[in-house]
Amino acid sequence: MMRQVLAVVVILAVVAPIPARADGRRRERRLELAQRWEEMSPIERGQALRNYRRFEKLPPEEQKAVQDNYERWRHLPRQEKDRLRTNYQSYRRMTPEEKQEFERDYQRWKGGR
C-alpha cells in the first residue's frame, strides 16, 4: 500500500510541472515571434495584415495551396524569386480585362499540357 502511494506521489511530482513547462515554451515562442513582428516596419506590418485578411477569406483548400506555395517559395533560388517578382509586376500592370484574358489563356494552356 505504502509503495503504491509513493509511486503515485512520484508520478505526480514528475507529471505535474509538464503543462507549466509547455506553457513556458509557448510563451517564449510567442515572445520571439512578437519580437520579430515588432522589428517589421509599420508599412510591412500593414501589408502583412491586409494580406492576411485576404488569405483568411479563401476556402481551406486554397489556403493550403498558398501555404504549400510558400514552402516552395522559401526554397527557391534568389534568381528565380526575382523572376517571379518581375512577372508579378507585369501581371499587376495588366488591366482587369487583360488579367481575365491571361487567366483564360493560363487555364487553356494548363488543360492542354
Partner 1 sequence: MSAPVCETMSEELVAYLDGEQPEPERGRIESHLATCLGCRREIERVTKVKALVRALPRVEPSAGFEERMWRRLRADTPVATRGKGFRPAIWGLPVLAAAAVVALAWYSLLSHLGESEPAVPAGGPAVAVAPREPARLGSAPVVQAEAEREREEALAAASRPPWDLPTAPEDLPPELLEHPELFLRYPVVRRMKKLENFEEVRRHVDQEHRGDLGSPLRPVG
Residue from 10, 30, 64, 98 touching partner 1 (CB under 8 A): that is 30
Q: Under the criterion CB under 8 A, does residue 61 sit at the interface with partner 1?
A: no
Residue 24 interacts with partner 1 (CB under 8 A)?
no
Nearer to partner 1, 21 or 109 (CB): 109
Min separation Cβ 112 and partner 1, Å: 8
Phi and psi, residue 95, nearest 5°: -75, 165
- DSSP letters of 15-81? HTHHHHHHHHHHHHHHHHHHHHHHHS-HHHHHHHHHHHHHHHTS-HHHHHHHHHHHHHHHTS-HHHH
Grouping H, G, I as helix, E, B as strand and the rest as coil, residue 110 is: helix
Among 14, 43, 77, 95, binds partner 1 (CB under 8 A): 43
Cβ distance 91 to 99 under 8 Å? Answer: yes
CA distance 56 to 67: 12
Q: Pick the closer one to partner 1 by CB: 14 or 111.
A: 111
The reply on whether position 79 binds partner 1 by CB under 8 A is: no
- The contact set with partner 1 (CB under 8 A) reads 30, 33-34, 36-38, 40-52, 54-56, 66-67, 69-70, 72-74, 82, 84-93, 102, 105-106, 109-110, 112-113
